[in-house]
Amino acid sequence: MKAIIGKKVGMSQIFDADGKVVPVTVIEAGPCVVVQKKTMEKDGYSAVQLGFEDVPERKLTKPEMGHLSKAGVSPKKHLREFDIEGDLNVGDIVKADTFAEGDHVDVTGISKGHGFQGVVKRHGAHRLKETHGTGPVHRHAGSMGSGTDPSRIFKGKIGAGQMGVDQVTIMNLDVVKVDPELNMLVVRGAVPGPKGGLVTIRTTKKTIAEKKGEAAGISVNPQKASARVNPQKASARNK
Question: What residue spans define the domains of the chain?
Answer: 114-163, 215-239
C-alpha to C-alpha distances, 95 to 5, 50, 180, 208, nearest whole angstrom: 9, 11, 7, 24
Q: Tell me what pLDDT residue 216 has.
A: 60
Q: How many whole angstroms separate alpha carbon 46 and alpha carbon 184?
A: 28
State how far the Cα of 198 lies from the Cα of 29, in Å rounded to an integer. Answer: 10
| pLDDT for the residue 213 | 57
pLDDT digits (tens, 9 = 90+) for 14-27: 888 888 898 999 99
- The 3 state secondary structure assigned to the chain is CCEEEEEEEEEEEEECCCCCEEEEEEEEECCEEEEEEECHHHHCCCEEEEEEEECCHHHCCHHHHHHHHHHCCCCEEEEEEECCCCCCCCCCEECHHHCCCCCEEEEEEECCCCEEECHHHHHCCCCCCCCCCCCCCCCCCCCCCCCCCCCCCCCCCCCCEEECCCEEEEEEEEEEEEECCCCEEEEECCCCCCCCCEEEEEECCCCCCCCCCCCCCCCCCCCCHHHHHCCCCHHHHCC
How high is the pLDDT of residue 220?
66
pLDDT above 70: residue 219: no
DSSP bridge partners of 202: 3, 106
Q: Residue 173: exposed, middle, or buried by beta-carbon count in 10 A (0-12, 13-18, 19+)?
A: buried
Q: Does residue 232 surpass a pLDDT of 60?
A: no
| Residue from 35, 186, 30 nearest 96 by CA | 30
Q: pLDDT (tens digit, 9 = 90+) per residue, 131-159?
A: 888 878 888 888 887 888 888 888 888 99
**CA 91, CA 80: separation in Å to the nearest integer?**
15
Check residue 228 and give its pLDDT: 60
Per the CB < 8 A criterion, the answer to whether 227 and 221 are in contact is yes
pTM of the entire predicted model = 0.76
pLDDT tens across 55-103, in order?
998 999 999 999 888 888 889 899 999 887 778 888 888 888 888 888 8
Does the structure show a pLDDT above 90 at 237? no
For residue range 95-136, what is the model confidence (pLDDT) as tens digits?
888 888 888 999 999 999 999 999 999 999 988 887 888 878
The string of pLDDT tens digits covering residues 177-201 is 898 889 899 999 999 999 999 999 9
Q: How far is CA 230 from CA 170, 212, 216, 234, 238, in A?
A: 34, 16, 11, 9, 12
Q: What is the pLDDT of residues 33-54, one digit of tens each?
A: 998 888 888 888 888 999 998 8
Question: What's the pLDDT at 212?
Answer: 65
